[in-house]
Amino acid sequence: MTLTIETITRDRLADYASVPIAFEVRAVFAVEDEAGGRAGYSLSERAVQPYQKDYDALPDGGPLQWPDRFGISTWGIFVARAGDQIVGGAAVAWDSPDIHMLEGRRDLAVLWDLRVRSQYQRQGIGTALFNHAADWAKSRGCALLKIETQNVNVAACRFYARMGCHLGSIDREAYRTCPEVADEIMLVWHLDLGQR
């Protein structure tokens, strides 16, 4: 399979959104603080009754709502193509004052979204998109890439760990005002771009 990654603009967000982000939850991570978080965190997996998770279906969720919620003019938004089909996408938030995770810094980027069509998963597309996004952030002078996941997305957590990320912080209360995900724990992964 020949894979190409291209940068898109906001007028092509429908192309990006055509790649579903839904997945089946079969397990979650219980999160334990080591020495109050100072020594890191440990994750232990536990099985749950399977259910579908689709973050695009949440209120204000999905790529088509990004321009209404954020200033995305400085973001890097990419799609991966296999032939004529869009098989994945990645979005990197950078230099966006309205993104709290950026802490008002220009040397920090956030991998806002990463998605691959289910029938194309485990073929290196997620890895290619992740590397492209990290290189894009590094080329803008970023020293750190943050990635937000949730404890219900075990596969994503494993993927980011394989990509060299470490669990930088957790927030047990991050989603308390959103009933659909109030019981989920925010996990923020860090990638040191200076090591790339």
Terminal-to-terminal C-alpha distance of the chain: 26
Residue 187 backbone class (left: φ over 0; alpha: ψ -120 to 50; beta: rest): beta
For residue 108, what pLDDT is reported? 98
pTM of the model: 0.94
91-123 pLDDT tens trace: 999 999 999 999 999 999 999 999 999 999 999
Confidence of residue 156 (pLDDT cuts 50, 70, 90): very high
**Which of the residue ranges 25-34, 44-53, 102-111, 117-126 would you say has the lowest mean pLDDT?**
25-34
Measured in whole angstroms, how far is the alpha carbon of residue 161 from the centre of its chain? 13
Class of domain 3-141: alpha beta
Q: In whole angstroms, give the CA distance from residue 176 to residue 183.
A: 7
Dihedral over Cα of 33, 112, 110, 125: its sign? positive
